[in-house]
Chain A
Amino acid sequence: METKNSTGTMRLNRRSFLSLVGGAALALPLATLLPKTAQAGSKEADEFLKSKVKGAMKDGRVTIIAPEIAENGNTVPITITVESPMTEKDYVKTVYLVAEGNPNPGVATFNLSPMMGEAKVDIRIRLAKTQKVIAVAEMSDGSAWKGSQEIKVTIGGCGG
C-alpha cells in the first residue's frame, strides 16, 4: 500500500532497503565465520589477557621474533624476548602468549625467574591461519608490557 502511494515513502523504502542490505552485508561475514569453527578473534584474545593480567598493558619491551610467512602452521618457530635486567629486584615474572586466530586464544604461559639471566624463550607453536600473535609480560614490579607480531600462515595447523 505505502509503496504505491508517494515518492516519499518510496525513497524511505529504498533507504530502509539499502540499510537492510548494508546491515546484512556486515552481518553476513560475522555470521558465517562465528558458528563455523568458533575462532578466538581479537576480542577473545583481549578478554583472555585481561582475565590474566591485572594492571594496564603498555606497549613495548616485549618482542616476538617469528617468520613473516610461516609455510606450515603446524610448527611455527617463535622467539619471545623481554627487556629486563632479570635481577632479584627487577625481573619478568610471567609471560602470556596468545594467538588471535586459533580455536582457543591461549598458547602458553611462561613462569620466569631471576635465575634465567635473560628473558628469552624459543618455542614452536601451531597457528590455524594468518593472524596476530601477542605476548604480554608481567614484571616483578607489577607493570605489564605487550608486544605483538603478525604472522602469515600458508597452511593452517588445525586440520585433520
Chain B
Amino acid sequence: MAENVKPRIKAPTTVKKGDVFEVKTLIQHEMESGQRKDKDGKPIPRQIINKFTCSLNGKTVFSMDLEPAISANPYIVFNLKATESGTLEFKWLDDNGAVYSATQQLTVN
C-alpha cells in the first residue's frame, strides 16, 4: 500500500524556448476511496493522494486537488510552456501526511 509509493515522470529534458511540451506523471497508490467495505462489512478508511503540485524553480505552475473519484495509481498528464531552465519538482500529498516527490532537470534553449 502506502509503503510502495513510487512516482514516475515522463517529460523531455531539453526543450526549445516557447515550445509547449507534455508532462506525464504516474504514482503507485491504492487511492482507497473510503466507500469500500472489508470482508467483515466494516468500511475501509479513506486513504488517497489528495493533492498534486508541479513547480518550476520553486514556483507552482500546476496543481490539482484529488478526490476519491480519481482512479488508483493516479495518472496525470498536462502541458508546460518552455520559458526557463531549471528544476521541475513534483509533489504528491497523502491523506496520512506523507509527501512523495520527484524532480527533473529541464533545459530550455
Of A75, A121, A157, the contact of B78 (CB 8 Å cutoff): A121
CB distance from B95 to the nearest CB of A (A): 15
Q: Are A124 and B75 in contact (CB under 8 A)?
A: yes
A99–B78 alpha-carbon span in the complex (Å):
21
The verdict on A123 contacting B69 (CB below 8 Å), with A112-B62, A113-B60, A116-B61 known, is no
Chain B at the A interface: SS class? strand
A118–B19 alpha-carbon span in the complex (Å):
10
Q: Are A121 and B72 in contact (CB under 8 A)?
A: no
Instruction: Identify the A interface with B (CB < 8 A).
Output: 74-76, 86, 99, 102-104, 106-118, 120-127, 157-160
Chain A CB within 8 A of B99 CB: no
Query: Hey, which chain B residues are within 8 Å of A110, CB to CB?
Result: 62-64
Q: Are B76 and A75 in contact (CB under 8 A)?
A: no
Q: Are A118 and B63 in contact (CB under 8 A)?
A: no
A86–B61 alpha-carbon span in the complex (Å):
12
Q: Are A113 and B62 in contact (CB under 8 A)?
A: yes
A110–B44 alpha-carbon span in the complex (Å):
27
Query: Hey, which chain A residues are within 8 Å of B69, CB to CB?
Result: 99, 102, 104, 106-108, 125-127
Q: Are B71 and A109 in contact (CB under 8 A)?
A: no
Query: Hey, which chain A residues are within 8 Å of B74, CB to CB?
Result: 123-124
Q: Are B35 and A115 in contact (CB under 8 A)?
A: no
CB distance from B62 to the nearest CB of A (A): 6
Q: Are B62 and A74 in contact (CB under 8 A)?
A: no
A123–B74 alpha-carbon span in the complex (Å):
7
Chain A CB within 10 A, most for which of B20, B56, B71, B77: B71
